[in-house]
Chains A and B, each alone.
Chain A
Amino acid sequence: MSEPLLEVSDLQVYFPVYGKGLVPRHINDVKAVDGVTFQVGRGETLGLVGESGCGKTTTGLAVLRLIEPTGGSVVFDGVDLSTLDKRDLRLLRKRMALIFQDPYASLDPRMSIGAIVGEPLEIHRLTQTRADRDDRVGELLELVGLSPDYRNRYPHEFSGGQRQRVGIARALATEPDFIVCDEPIAALDVSIQAGIMNLLEDLQDELGLTYIFIAHDLSAVQHFSDRIAVMYLGRVVEVADRVALYETPQHPYTAALLSAVPVPNPAVQRTRQRIILEGDVPSPLNPPSGCSFHQRCPKAFEPCPHVDPALRTTKRDHDVACHLHDPALSGAAGA
């Protein structure tokens, strides 16, 4: 990994839960992100995968300080974001962008596509004249496979995939250094998926962009990322090089995840063996004690329900949070 552009340490995001009653009272917290640590190097792509609801989106938002983290720190290019005042943070946003998971909800329904994509240009005064801006908007739309003719249309007139591409075009507008891509390709057909990934890669090659790439399509993640972090219930449970993760997954959850990747071949897909995860899916409202995966883990053993495994490096560039890979306990695992 090259010199880190982004260092996230012990990030926590808790959402308060309010009770009923005339005046709502804070009764509990959803620990959506609970002690996440990782780094992303300059020009690197970190894939972020994990079960739905495990806190990927929340991590992405907190990294960009679009929600206030409850704890932990985010250092971007040597600057601790929590020390920045509003204005500096705002200026820094030219260098950081987010592609939102929900494309429609993230587009202002009363703004035309052209205005939406042109907005970051306007905000950061990246184009001098109106004509310049219009040209650039057209370019951006074309880049994501939308006709510039669509610029006067409004979000509700677009298909899901088209909306998603509008969001991508908007994120690319400022030519940022760092983009959190939250499921940027989920709603796109494979050809366009490929086109978008190619585009992002090209940009990375040309401009040295850094990405956090959140996706469920593990093939795409693997294709696109340099390293991949696997999250489970608000934590990172495994981080490894793209190849290593696929070839030698260490965390039982990662293994289960990989076994479920659908293969675009009916014959193979219908006969494949998946690792079926048994047991209740835990909730971030009251996470289980010990390892949060232990209730569903096929390999759980004595310490798992009690001791929370720390993320530790097992091999070069391969970190995992699992008692199975704790040298001190590995004997017990065998037993």
Chain B
Amino acid sequence: MTVAPSTPMERLPEKPVSRSREIWQTLIANRLAVAGLVVLALLVLMAVLAEVIAPFGINDIDIPNRLTGPSMSHWFGTDDLGRDVLSRVIIASRVSLQVGFIAVGFALAFGVPIGLVAGYYRGKTDSILMRLMDILFSFPAILLAIAILAVLGPGIRNAMVAIGLVYTPIFARITRGSVIVVSEEVYIRAARSLGARDGRIIFRHILPNVLAPIIVQTTLSLAFAILSEAALSFLGLGVQPPNPAWGRMLAEGRNFFQQAPWMGIFPGVAILVTVMSFNFVGDGLRDALDPKQKSVIESRGQSV
């Protein structure tokens, strides 16, 4: 094998970079997105190791020490049954993160394709799909939840499905709105001229160009899903007491708003931190998917 001599001037030919790699690289060049990823990773780690980390058990009732404020022994204070709020927040992360991610994942997995298809094909397909979504959206979420409980049986997994189902029409509508506009772009016609299948046009061309509002809705839904888990828990659909979930803790804390604000504040902060870090990642992802924004980010790394 011979090594071809190369003049110093000659640049090595650029390797084609795969799209996902490129997005990832741009994403991790964004400080906030990295911070978000790190926090999310820590949260997930916390959820996995919850039992090990939590200083107390989730149902270590201690009535005499109920409603005591944050202290050395109970950093986040105690709740109305004298349980350690910190421990409950830590253990609750498991359910809440799951609910958030899985429910939103469900809604994404169904809502976005429905919106894409409806917005791309318009006409009858659009009418049928969107009216179905309208029907779904019209239901009081609680009724839907109770019905799912009845059909699938109670439990956290079904709670996720229920929440996911509630969010599906929202994703569908949001997606469809943007798809309708993007479908009219010339590059869509160009893709069609190449003989691209509808599926390809929808997922390769339209989807990346409508991702911004979907990302926003995803981060929002995450917060709402975690919160609405509380409502479902009350209907027996979610996690059952004494197992904690952030939304449920917040809801219970409301009754002690004046006596023990920490009962609600800490789970609330946990939700906020999750949502914020998710948001940072979402914003970073959006930028990474937008080549113009990407250029701006890359140019920061260059001394021009």
Listed in ascending order, the chain A residues whose CB lies under 8 Å from chain B are 61, 64, 66, 90-94, 97-98, 100, 102, 105-112, 114-115, 119-120, 123-124, 134, 137-138, 148-152, 154-157, 167, 170, 174
Contact = CB atoms under 8 A, between A and B. Distances in A.
B190 A100 contact: yes
Contact of A157 (B191, B205, B295): B295
Contacts of B189: 61, 66, 106
A46 to B, nearest CB: 19
Interface in B194-220: 194-197, 200, 204-205, 208-209
Contacts of A123: 194-197, 200
Contacts of B292: 109, 154, 156
Contact of B191 (A94, A119, A167): A119
Contacts of B194: 93, 97, 119-120, 123, 170, 174
A149 B14 contact: yes
Given A64-B193, A148-B13, A152-B17, 9 more contacts: A108-B191, A110-B290, A119-B191, A124-B195, A134-B16, A150-B14, A152-B22, A157-B291, A170-B194
A211 B295 CA distance: 37
B13 A149 contact: yes
A174 B193 CA distance: 12
B131 interface: no
Contact of A93 (B11, B195, B209): B195
Contacts of A115: 19
Contacts, number: 97
B231 to A, nearest CB: 38
B195 A120 contact: yes
A253 to B, nearest CB: 29
B31 interface: no
18 contacts: A64-B193, A66-B189, A66-B193, A105-B185, A106-B186, A107-B190, A108-B190, A108-B191, A108-B209, A109-B187, A110-B209, A114-B16, A119-B196, A123-B200, A134-B16, A152-B16, A152-B22, A154-B294
A107 B187 contact: yes
A28 to B, nearest CB: 21
Nearest to A173: B194
B289 interface: yes
Given A64-B193, A100-B186, A123-B197, A152 B291 contact: no
B120 to A, nearest CB: 13
Contact of B186 (A91, A105, A156): A105
B18 to A, nearest CB: 9
Given A94-B195, A124-B195, A156-B292, A151 B209 contact: no
Contacts of A114: 16
Contacts of A94: 195
Interface of B: 11, 13-14, 16-17, 19, 22, 185-187, 189-197, 200, 204-205, 208-209, 289-292, 294-295
A178 to B, nearest CB: 12
B212 to A, nearest CB: 11
A142 to B, nearest CB: 11
Interface centre among B14, B187, B189, B194 (most CB of A within 10 A): B194
A156 B295 contact: yes
A111 B18 CA distance: 11
Interface centre among A66, A102, A106, A108 (most CB of B within 10 A): A108
A181 to B, nearest CB: 13
Nearest to B211: A110
Given A102-B186, A120-B194, A124-B195, A137 B16 contact: yes
A107 B209 CA distance: 12
A149 B186 contact: no
For the complex of A and B, list the 8 residue pairs with the smallest distance between their C-beta atoms, beginning with the closest. A93-B195, A154-B291, A105-B186, A106-B190, A149-B14, A110-B208, A108-B187, A120-B194
A105 B142 CA distance: 47
Contacts of B187: 105-109
B11 A149 contact: yes
A211 B285 CA distance: 42
B14 A151 contact: yes
Contacts of A156: 291-292, 295
Contacts of B289: 110
A98 B193 contact: yes
Nearest to B200: A123
Contacts of A110: 208-209, 289-291
